[in-house]
Amino acid sequence: MSAGSARPTRHDAVDRLAAPVTVLTVCHAGRVHGTTVSSLTTVSQEPLLLTASLQEGSAFAHLALSEGRFAVNVLSSGQGVAARRFADGHRPAGSAQFDGLAWRPDRYSRAPLLEGALAHYACRVRGSFLLGDHEVLLGLVVRADGGPSGAPLLSYGGELVTGTPESTTSSPPYVPDFHDIHPRERTAL
């Protein structure tokens, strides 16, 4: 609650929404870039579409829109350092922001996939919308793979916390690769 107030504010209430912490990555014109996002949401299962809310005018949004594709790294509970690094507005630019982190390029987006992430999603940009003080990026998942099983890193109450799932699976649900993509999306690739 706010200092001096006995009633929770709207901000206090919103802080009680637990959200998975992800690092979105992009490779545009040979330049890699990443940003931490805790507002990634599935908006459609068929075809599989994700939205990510970014600060209006973010460098990531500009690069992803220019490239037309990006990757999502769903962070595990042990990746708090990476989450904080990519949330730091004063981190180095380009590949230097990935120094000391194990990663490999995604075969579709060429964007960095962080080792140890619970899952990776390769996305094609389907749109971008300005809503309030954020830019919402819409991505069509064209490929997904699972990393190690484990607890997710969550954002809750303005802090990074460990999620404790009741059960864990070794991989995310099957997502079709390019040749099995939803018929409405096949012609757009």
The answer, yes or no, to whether residue 48 has pLDDT greater than 80, is yes
At 92 the pLDDT is 93
CATH number at residue 64: 2.30.110.10
More confident residue, 189 or 63: 63
Which of 49, 40, 45 minimizes the C-alpha distance to 75?
A: 40
Query: 126-140: per-residue pLDDT in tens?
Result: 999 988 888 999 999
Question: Is 56 a member of any domain?
Answer: yes
- Please count the structural domains in the chain: 1
- The reply to whether 185 falls in a domain is no
pLDDT in tens, 50-101: 999 999 889 999 999 999 999 999 999 999 999 999 999 999 999 999 999 9
Q: What percent of the chain has pLDDT over 90?
A: 63
Q: Which residues pair with 51 in a beta bridge?
A: 41, 138
Look at residue 122 and tell me if it is in a domain: yes
Query: Structure pTM?
Result: 0.83
Listed range (10-19, 130-139, 155-164) with the worst mean pLDDT: 10-19
The answer to whether position 35 is within a domain reads yes
Q: Is residue 146 part of a domain?
A: yes
Residue 172 belongs to some domain of the structure? no
What domain range is 108 assigned to? 10-162
Q: Nearest 5 degrees, angle CA 38-CA 25-CA 16?
A: 0
- Is residue 32 domain-resident? yes
